[in-house]
Amino acid sequence: MPHDTTDDLLQALLDAPAPEPHLHEIGTVTEIGDGIAIVTGLARALLDEVLEFGGGLVGIVFDLEADRLGVVLLGPSGAVVPGSDVRRTGRVVSVPVGAAMLGRVVDALGRPRDGGDPPATDRLRPIETDAPGILDRAPVTRPLATGLKAVDAAVPVGMGQRELIVGDRQTGKTSIAVDAILNQRGTGVLCIYCAIGQRGDAVAKVIGALHDGGAMDHTIVVTAGDEEAPGLSWVAPYAAMTMAEALAATGRDVLIVFDDLTHHAHSYRELSLLLRRPPGREAFPGDIFYVHARLLERAGQFAPRIGGGSITALPVVETQAENLSAYIPTNLISITDGQIYLSPRLVRRNQFPAVDLGVSVSRVGGKAQAPALRDVAGNLRVTLSQFEELEEFARFGTRLDDATQRNLTRGAAVRGALRQPERDPMPADEQLAILIAAIEGLFDAMDEATTATGAAAVRAAVRHDNGETAALIGSGRRMTPDDRARIAGLARDALSEVGHGPDA
């Protein structure tokens, strides 16, 4: 290079303005544990701020004390040892959002878990945000169909509602949530399934069901497995809710499932105890109610001023030995707008979905339910409650009169008609026809296999009735005696054709 060129370059560098200094605040790890770290030397760090450790590991400031920070790690801590450096970032935990997330399986930080490239979006939103105020909300007036007879008729869910799914292990809680997601295919409702502390094979089974049911294209799966750091399980539901808020802000309706908040509470308790927070009831920290309330209050039906979309939340919680009065279940029951209770007693009777209509309730869904279905649901609850009372009485072996025996037969038939296999969500018009057939006695004295065959015949008949039953539900009007008689006649003819009619 010629000498004069070098001189010109040096002079240009000398004449250029000096670069602004970059300030890096660096602290030191003093303790490292299972999912947590104690950090000193970062006196200006803020609560919930992201800190960077070596090897790409990040953590969240969880506790602020005068001379140290309690940090929750969002990943494996194997590369971090006491004495390691840690840096402030000046930002909070954020996740990618937008329509590009649909069809993807991601972790609690939005990183791909399905083997694909990172989601094609540069939009980031913090996982923590204030819930919309009263003036930013609208009434819940539209139904969200789950495709399950026992839910849509008796425990209806409205768009923007928070409906708890509660029950013991192996009672079908996840199945109800997955069927609800499958039923949104073709409705325009977007879905998010958030798996918290679940086994990898269980999450893979759900993802397989969504793929097989053609629901993955409109669904985001957020997963934080039980083998991962507890910090990821703690932030996962907030990350999923943030993704839902970004979609709802564009006017879309979103269904979000948290499976389950029992594991979320356990991960929060674990982190709190490791950081020496004072324990309370059942060793949970004192703010465990607020942890779930600030999450679920972000759901709702929103006013047009903030997009006009909705977020319907189906949180799942597990009970032990049917103990609904345990700490976490009672907290969530008081936060949500109703609960779907799945009874082990019904599971033992092979009644799936095992929805106990005596304990289940929806505090707002009835206002969003189609009047025709609401007319049937009243008779359904009365028939089943009378049947269960008589069933308990009949256990003593007392001789029963003919009227009581007929009520027992009718109740057993109605309960049998509520059976529904997994991954078979049902349109509202087919549900209505089957329930009317059961209440009218068309399934009396049928065994389980015969009832299933008869129900399939009734469903086929409704699909070929030129949409009259669907038009009745969509019209929003009450059911007249003529409507009821027409549907009952349709069901009676369908059963007669397959040899299961009342006179067969």
Active-site residues, by number, are: 363
The three-point CA angle 390-395-397 to 5° equals 110
DSSP letter string, 266-321:
HHHHHHHHHTTPPB-GGG-BTTHHHHHHHHHTT-EEBPGGGTS-EEEEEEEEE-ST
Alpha-helical (H) ranges within 158-248 are 173-182, 200-212, 230-248
Give the three-state DSSP class for 254: strand
Give the residue from 159, 215, 148 showing the smallest Cα distance to 373. Answer: 148
If phi > 0 it is left, if psi is from -120 to 50 it is alpha, else beta; for residue 251 that is left
What does the block give as tokens for 18?
């000096």
- The structure tokens listed for 355 are 């929805």
Which residues, including other chains, have CB under 8 Å from residue 170's CB and lie 6 or more apart?
Answer: 347
Find where tokens 């204030």 sit.
130
Phi then psi for residue 84, to 5 deg, are -70, 150
- Would you say 185 and 156 are in contact if contact means Cβ atoms under 8 Å apart? no
Q: Give the number of C-alpha atoms closer than 13 A to the C-alpha of residue 77, restricted to the C-beta side.
A: 22
